[in-house]
Structure 1
Amino acid sequence: MNTPSPRPPAGAHEPARNPGGWRLRMYTVIFEADTRAGRLFDLVLVALILASATVVVLDSVASVHDRHGALLTALEWFFTVAFTVEYIARLVCVRHPLRYARSAFGIIDLVALLPTYIAVFVPGLHALIDVRLLRLLRLFRILKLGAYVTEFGLLGRALVASRRKILVFMVFVLMVVTIMGTLMYVVEGPENGYTSIPVGVYWAITTMTTVGFGDITPKTDLGRVIASTMMLLGWGTLAVPTGIVSAEFTAQRFGRSPTTRTCHECLSEGHLPSARFCRDCGAPLPPWQHDATLADPSTPGQRPG
């Protein structure tokens, strides 16, 4: 019997570059933070993003713009050129450039560049340069030294896994605030500010979430009893989704060893140090490059970075 050939990873029909050589070294520095060079690259990138956002904020102050407008404009173009070079470098070193360009980070990287170029023709769009702050999500890669970016992904998967439980909980909350809002409308009435059932529901939501704007308050004794019940119920209500997500998060996190190891095919992160194939698309992974391998080169499946 003939053994069926393994299924190619998603996107294998796209033209792929050779992952070796200088492209592999560049990829490791740009997309992974488990080496000194990778951490340094991310730190410099974050510093540039913060500096660029600071320049935009200062340029919005009329007195600063009048005094240092030329300098701020020059700095903004410097940051834009630097980010443009970085974006091109990312496209050059990845195996599937189009796939990266269509990813969440790829779109953010591109949108972070466009306002400066578009502002040449439409000056009002210059303030949109602050979208670069979204790129600070990459800060998770540095501070974690592996952990935070994976924890961030685990939190996302925990939210997805608990979406049905959260939906049921939200439906329950909606029923409670509708009933209590209607009850307050009947008890308090329009003369005390509860002019309609939607207004009563609004009061119930602000009370249950412990916000309590104070624009509508009960005046009768029975209304205050209902309000007190809603406040106490709100404390318990806040704990329910937290427990649901925490349980899923713990289940997702158990037994994982976080890294910034990234698949060249689908760009998913957080693979185990000993993994040989991507857990998402099944593509083979290159050896893990990590600073620790310099001290222990005998570790299997690794090589010095």
Structure 2
Amino acid sequence: MKLKERIHRFLHDEKLKRKLYVIIFESDTPAGKLFDVILIACILVSVLLVIIESLKELPTYLTTPFVIMEFLFTGFFTFEYLTRIYCSPRPRKYIFSFFGIVDLLATLPLYIGLLFPGARYLLIIRAFRLIRVFRVFKLFNFLNEGERLLTALRESSKKIAVFFLFVVILVTSIGTLMYMIEGTQPNSQFNNIPNSIYWAIVTMTTVGYGDITPATGLGKFLSACVMLIGYTIIAVPTGIVSASMMKEYKRRRDKECPNCHRSGHEDNAEFCKYCGHSLDPSETKAEEK
């Protein structure tokens, strides 16, 4: 009974939860910033270990220390993840948030690796946790720019999807055409349509591996045309996203505060982030009356 009471008290110790929350989730305090710096250092070292361990030239006497360190880091990250759930005011929200999912994925590979040895190299996922560096060092402007980029990508996703479908149809058609031109040649590398489509994709993206090359004059002419088409096609998605980003910047710039006349507010902002005045022009007119 005493053990149950202790567990119950521990699980409902709001004072302890608050202390842990300040340390783990907030970086404004010295303890919180120190914790985040230590966490980032551990992430960097653990990712570096995974990279170094993949080297074939790694001396065998380093294998055991590396494995021990991996288990120590994984134990630390597991404890940290569980502590975040424990002290979070809304555990479910944290668990299903971006950082919550990344934190979980950062701990699972080593445990899965006990059953499937190759899976532990997925520990490289921990690198995503370095995104916390923006919060620790107050680099919120970078996060805002990233948010704007994501917004632009979301807005242009339908256009990009249509364009991608067009490209798929185009490379399929070009690959089939090249198969018809080159497929009849003896010892031709274009011996089937899938190989020809692969060639069309490699050529149109200007990668040019050179593992499949045309032999006839007509095939070479078509290759040259595909290369030129590829240069123009690559620029299209960039233009679509750039147009969406410019639209987003213009929209934010146009949202001007009626009091201090400064712009650059979020779309869903209701008050000026500079002076705190309402951004609703109707409220300003009502106040004047």
Calculate the TM-score normalised by the size of structure 2: 0.68
The residue number in structure 2 matching 1:17 is none
Match status 1:205 vs 2:201: yes
The residue number in structure 1 matching 2:101 is 107
Q: 1:38 to 1:243 in 2, by over 3 A?
A: farther
The residue number in structure 2 matching 1:218 is 214
Counterpart residue identity of residue 236, structure 2: V
CA deviations 1:211-235 (Å, max 9, x no partner) are 1222222222222221111101101
CA deviations 1:95-130 (Å, max 9, x no partner) are 2101211223212212322344566x6483544433
Does 1 or 2 have the higher relative contact order (CA < 8 Å, sep 6+)? 1
Counterpart residue identity of residue 184, structure 2: P
Give the stretch that moved more between structures: 202-211 or 124-133. Answer: 124-133
Map 1:287-298; keep pairs closer than 5 Å.
Answer: none
CA deviations 1:15-58 (Å, max 9, x no partner) are xxxxx998678656644667877665443322110112233444
Match status 1:55 vs 2:65: no
The residue number in structure 2 matching 1:259 is none
The residue number in structure 1 matching 2:73 is 79
Give aligned-pair identity as a percent: 41
2: distance between equivalents of 1:181 and 1:62?
A: 39
CA deviations 1:219-277 (Å, max 9, x no partner) are 22222221111101101100000111122233334538xxxxxxxxxxxxxxxx999xx
1: distance between equivalents of 2:190 and 2:53?
A: 47
Match status 1:246 vs 2:242: yes
Q: 1:168 to 1:68 in 2, by over 3 A?
A: closer
1: distance between equivalents of 2:214 and 2:44?
A: 48
> Which secondary structure does the structure 2 equivalent of 1:190 belong to?
coil
CA deviations 1:155-175 (Å, max 9, x no partner) are 222222111101111122122
Q: 1:38 to 1:150 in 2, by over 3 A?
A: farther
2: distance between equivalents of 1:251 and 1:36?
A: 40
Match status 1:138 vs 2:138: no
Aligned-pair CA distance for 1:207: 0.9
1: distance between equivalents of 2:217 and 2:92?
A: 65
Does the CA contact (< 8 Å) of 1:181 and 1:204 recur in 2?
yes
2: distance between equivalents of 1:27 and 1:274?
A: 30
The residue number in structure 2 matching 1:15 is none
1: distance between equivalents of 2:265 and 2:160?
A: 35
1: distance between equivalents of 2:74 and 2:93?
A: 23
2: distance between equivalents of 1:240 and 1:188?
A: 30
For structure 1, the 5+ residue unaligned runs are 1-19, 257-272, 283-287, 289-298
Q: 1:33 to 1:154 in 2, by over 3 A?
A: farther
Does the CA contact (< 8 Å) of 1:34 and 1:146 recur in 2?
no
Q: Give the structure with higher Rg (CA).
A: 2
2: distance between equivalents of 1:79 and 1:216?
A: 46
Does the CA contact (< 8 Å) of 1:48 and 1:79 recur in 2?
yes
2: distance between equivalents of 1:112 and 1:53?
A: 10
- More helix as a share of residues: 2
Q: 1:202 to 1:96 in 2, by over 3 A?
A: same
For structure 2, the 5+ residue unaligned runs are 1-13, 254-263, 278-289
Aligned-pair CA distance for 1:149: 2.2
2: distance between equivalents of 1:115 and 1:162?
A: 35
2: distance between equivalents of 1:237 and 1:65?
A: 48
> Which secondary structure does the structure 1 equivalent of 2:40 belong to?
helix
2: distance between equivalents of 1:66 and 1:168?
A: 52
Match status 1:161 vs 2:152: no
Counterpart residue identity of residue 224, structure 2: S
Q: 1:193 aligns with which of 177, 189, 196?
A: 189
The RMSD of aligned alpha carbons is: 4.1
Give the stretch that moved more between structures: 96-105 or 27-36. Answer: 27-36
